[in-house]
Structures are given as C-alpha cells and as structure tokens.
A and B are shown apart, each in its own frame.
Chain A
Amino acid sequence: MKKYAENARRLKLAMSEAGLSQKDLSARTGIGKSSLSQYMNGLNWPDDNRKVGQIAEILNVNPAWLMGFDAQMQTEDDQPVVKSAHHGWYTDPETAKVAQEIFDDRDLHALFDAARDSKPEDLQMAADLLRRLKGTNPDG
C-alpha cells in the first residue's frame, strides 16, 4: 500500500471539487508538477506543513483534513474552518489579525490556546505580558 494513499485520495478529491488540475495547482502554489504528481499518487507528501497549508487554502479545505487527520473536509457553511484571516479559528477578524501579528513578530513569535471568541485586546495584553516575562525569564 502506498504510504500516503489517504493523503493522495483527499488531495485528488479536493482538487476535483475545486475544479483544479495538477497544472493549475502547480501554477497557483509554485509547487512543481512532478512533486504534485508524487503527492497525488501517494508516493510522497510535503514535510513542510506550510506547503500543505498553502494547498489547503487554495483548494478551500481544512488543512488538518488534508494532512490525514480525523477532521472535517470543510466546516459548516456558516463557520468555515480555514478560508482566510476573517474565517478562521477566531470569530472576531480583529482578534485573528492580532494573533497573526503576534505570531509574525520575530521577537515574540507566540501561539495561544485561546477561546474562539477572545477579544483582540486580551491577546494584545497576553502578548505584552509575554514580552515582559521573556525579558525576565533566564531561560530565554
């Protein structure tokens, strides 16, 4: 059995539903056609989750599902799992934006386990706290 058979099946299903060919997906992602061919045939799978996330975003599916986890391919119509910063984990787009900014801040680079309905100011306060802790934490 091919090592990545289930990933391949899901990838092909998502491509079919998105109406994208291998060539289209290659052009949209910048991933080479030969690599995509290997993914589609279950012979290989990206080591880098960013690639999977990129493919999932273009195919409009849940990256967790594409990775082979027991997750929904897509979420309910009113609450899609991952589409953009405005339709992601956080229900408030401003909170999603703040979370992404904190993650992108190379001096902090923090992830949170926070409620979906968290307020942006709460994440900002948490980030400020982490900056202070990081400055005083001997472990770095």
Chain B
Amino acid sequence: MADECLRIYTYTVDLPGKTNEAILQGADDSYTVYLDTSLDLNGRREALLHAMKHIIYNDFNNISVDAIENRAHA
C-alpha cells in the first residue's frame, strides 16, 4: 500500500536577515520547514502557518514567487 502520509519536518536554524522561515520540497514530496531561531513561540506558530499555506495550496507547482507570496500574505 502506498505511503500517503504528508510528511513535514521542522527544524530551527539561524536564518539570515529578515527571513522567518524557509520551506523545501523533497524529492519524495515531503516538506522541510526551517524556522528562524530568533522567533518566539508565537512567531514560530505564524511562520509554520505560513509554510502550511504553501503546502496546502500546492504552491510548489506554481510558477511565480510574487503571486505565491502575495497570496500567502493576504
């Protein structure tokens, strides 16, 4: 039976500048979310929510970062 779990890994790292979070899509369709260590708990929640929006809306199949981010921040 195929593994249909949605795998999302989260880590905290020291991201440069004003970057709260970064998200990567793995070759196996898993996602890895890196949250900036400087965020407090609420900030991490918000950053994770932002990442979840990208996943839910299948943004990795989109083509325009501007379109993606404007929608994610709307």
Contact = CB atoms under 8 A, between A and B. Distances in A.
Given A57-B67, A62-B70, A129-B13, 17 more contacts: A49-B59, A49-B61, A50-B61, A82-B66, A90-B69, A96-B65, A110-B23, A111-B54, A111-B60, A119-B17, A122-B16, A123-B19, A126-B19, A129-B15, A133-B13, A140-B28, A140-B32
Interface of A: 48-50, 53, 56-57, 62-65, 67, 69-71, 81-82, 84-85, 87-90, 96, 99-100, 103, 108-115, 117-119, 121-123, 125-126, 129-130, 133-134, 137, 139-140
Contacts of A100: 64-66
B73 A109 contact: no
Contacts of A82: 64, 66-67, 70
Residue from the set B59, B69, B72 with the largest chain A CB neighbour count within 10 Å: B69
Chain B interface main SS type: mixed
Contacts of B28: 140
B48 to A, nearest CB: 9
Contacts of B34: 130, 133
Nearest to A52: B67
A88 B61 contact: no
A35 B63 CA distance: 21
A84 to B, nearest CB: 8
B9 A139 contact: yes
Contact of A50 (B21, B47, B63): B63
A129 B62 CA distance: 23
A127 to B, nearest CB: 8
Interface of B: 9, 11, 13, 15-28, 30, 32, 34, 47, 50-51, 54, 57-74
A53 B67 contact: yes
A88 B66 contact: yes
B66 A89 contact: yes
Contact of A139 (B30, B65, B66, B69): B30
A121 B19 CA distance: 11
